Structure 1
Amino acid sequence: MATSVRIAVVGDVHDDWNQKRIQRPFSICSSHFSRRNPRLTRCSGEGGDREAVLLGVSVEKNMDVHLVETKAGNKIVATFWRHPYARFTILYSHGNAADLGQMLDLFIELRAHLRVNIMCYDYSGYGASTGKPSEFNTYTDIEAVYECLKREYGILPEDLILYGQSVGSGPTLHLAARLSRLRGVVLHSAILSGIRVLYPVKMTFWFDIFKNIDKIRVVNCPVLVIHVSLCSYL
């Protein structure tokens, strides 16, 4: 069980524009991802990492870009935003209809106001990452990014905060359930499971996806849950 869970409910939100723009992210037996056109392009380079440029944004010395290979054989783009006085690092898993380019302003704000490092990544098939979107691939994606954090920056679990938004709560809890000394977990508009997005079922079926409601039972760190009481944006 999590050592502590804090829940924040932030009013009622119903976004008609997003409801029209974003497709439903799940079917009963398989995940359906709605992807945005990428604002990040990859350039040729040497070694495992390659230079990448966010379109319309100047490259700064406090941002590193990595091309990380996963156990599934996909190569995903990850960016590390360094704060000179950071004590903690956030590993951010974004929502269904987003990519690194769209989230750029948020990462800059979080880094500045929270004084943390931020590692973020695009799932397989998103942005400039190779492969196809799937539940399994999101798990191998976050595992590979976590290994990159340890290898390149020496980040320890006790200094790491996992942040998952919407669909990103799936890979976030997948990793959190496997690490015993995390600083904390933030679940932002998290889902209980794939089927529970569609139907108010009380049990977990074998063919369900992102079984977060079961995985959170074994998370052993403080957990902050942020959710509105009415939301159409996944």
Structure 2
Amino acid sequence: MNGLSIRDICCLFCWPPCPSSIASKMAFIPPEPTYSFTPVAEGSSKMSLHLTEKAEWQFTDKEKECIEVFYTRTNRGNTISCMFVRCSPTARYCILFSHGNAADLGHMSSFYLSLGTRIDCNIFSYDYSGYGVSSGKPSEKNLYSDIQAAWDALRTRYGVSPENIILYGQSIGTAATVDLASRYEVGAVILHSPLMSGIRVLFNTKRTWFCDAFPSIEKVGKITSPVLVIHGTEDNVVDFSHGLAIHERCKRPVEPLWVEGAGHNDVELFSQYLERLRQFVNSDLGN
């Protein structure tokens, strides 16, 4: 996350507060789009996915047929891009994945197919407003609206029941995930490198300020679903203490995954990451 200017810091403690400005500066880093959608035929509403080289697709064109893409509209008037990855015909769960701040669906597509195949889950994801080919601008309010629209699309378009949905948030995506999970009971929740709140990322403060952004620490206690927290102990973007605090506030926490030596963007490279997710899906949720 980016640092703040003197003006932004002043806005934290002076009137009027500017949480939206602070949020956009510290949290959102939309990359250059790595994909596009095109109609499969003239006048058709069905879309096909085209990936650029920057997406670094790791599979064949045949495996790309597992991916369905489309647009949906949010209650704030933005059109966001969505992706459904059919990883397994036997999948019990579908993961609604909210990705990190410097990626888009193109970047994540290979990871989604690989992860879902290995843990026997389908994966549904979306791009935040202003990311990829989604319209609008990234903001805290849009973030919550975006995940709500994704949830609605997953429920209505694919008919997936809440008890079969696992909400997965990574980094800034945990703010969206916590907000949604605090309002709906789902199969489970995974919080990967979660932040307590925006100001807590920037300053060593123990309270939630009235102008704070992404106050997940105040919402996570409302989650009634099982929650798995994952965090690297050497995270220099969102300190490890955030994961600890979020875990402690959960009503139904499962054994967390603290990855020794991992930073903010490399947790997935450690073998215990995949092992813990398999255990979570196959054992923890079955008990």
Larger C-alpha radius of gyration, 1 or 2?
Answer: 2
State the Cα distance separating 1:176 from its structure 2 match: 0.1
CA distance in 2, matches of 1:49, 1:138: 25
| 1:103 counterpart residue number | 108
State the Cα distance separating 1:25 from its structure 2 match: 8.7
The TM-score with structure 1 as length reference comes to: 0.84
How do 1:45-124 and structure 2 match up within 5 A? 46=43, 50-55=47-52, 58=61, 60-82=64-86, 83-124=88-129
The alignment-based identity, stated in percent, is 40
| 1:196 counterpart residue number | 200
Check conservation: 2:128, 2:134, Cα contact below 8 A.
yes
Partner-residue secondary structure (3-state), 1:225? strand
- Structure 1's unaligned 5+ residue stretches are 1-21
Partner-residue secondary structure (3-state), 1:174? helix
How do 1:1-234 and structure 2 match up within 5 A? 23-24=2-3, 28=12, 29=19, 30-31=22-23, 32=25, 33-44=28-39, 46=43, 50-55=47-52, 58=61, 60-82=64-86, 83-180=88-185, 182-233=186-237
State the Cα distance separating 1:51 from its structure 2 match: 3.1
CA distance in 1, matches of 2:153, 2:51: 20
| 1:7 counterpart residue number | none
Letter of the structure 2 residue corresponding to residue 38 of structure 1: P
- The higher relative CO (CA closer than 8 Å, separation ≥ 6) is in 1
Deviations 1:9-63 (A, max 9, x none): xxxxxxxxxxxxx634996533121121111112246466533322355373321
| 1:10 counterpart residue number | none
Partner-residue secondary structure (3-state), 2:167? strand
State the Cα distance separating 1:230 from its structure 2 match: 2.1
Check conservation: 1:161, 1:185, Cα contact below 8 A.
yes
| 1:13 counterpart residue number | none
Partner-residue secondary structure (3-state), 2:105? coil
Check conservation: 1:76, 1:129, Cα contact below 8 A.
yes
State the Cα distance separating 1:138 from its structure 2 match: 0.7
Count of matched residue pairs: 212
Which stretch has the larger CA shift, 60-69 or 150-159?
60-69
> CA 1:197–1:101 in 2, change beyond 3 Å: closer, same or farther?
same
Partner-residue secondary structure (3-state), 2:47? coil
Letter of the structure 2 residue corresponding to residue 183 of structure 1: G
Check conservation: 1:25, 1:96, Cα contact below 8 A.
no
Letter of the structure 1 residue corresponding to residue 142 of structure 2: N
Partner-residue secondary structure (3-state), 1:163? strand
Partner-residue secondary structure (3-state), 2:176? helix
| 2:282 counterpart residue number | none
State the Cα distance separating 1:102 from its structure 2 match: 1.4
Which stretch has the larger CA shift, 105-114 or 134-143?
105-114
Deviations 1:157-201 (A, max 9, x none): 100000000000011011000102x11100000100000001121
Check conservation: 2:98, 2:170, Cα contact below 8 A.
yes
| 2:241 counterpart residue number | none
> CA 1:24–1:159 in 2, change beyond 3 Å: closer, same or farther?
farther
Check conservation: 1:48, 1:67, Cα contact below 8 A.
no
Partner-residue secondary structure (3-state), 1:51? strand
> CA 1:69–1:105 in 2, change beyond 3 Å: closer, same or farther?
same
Partner-residue secondary structure (3-state), 2:96? strand
Partner-residue secondary structure (3-state), 2:221? helix
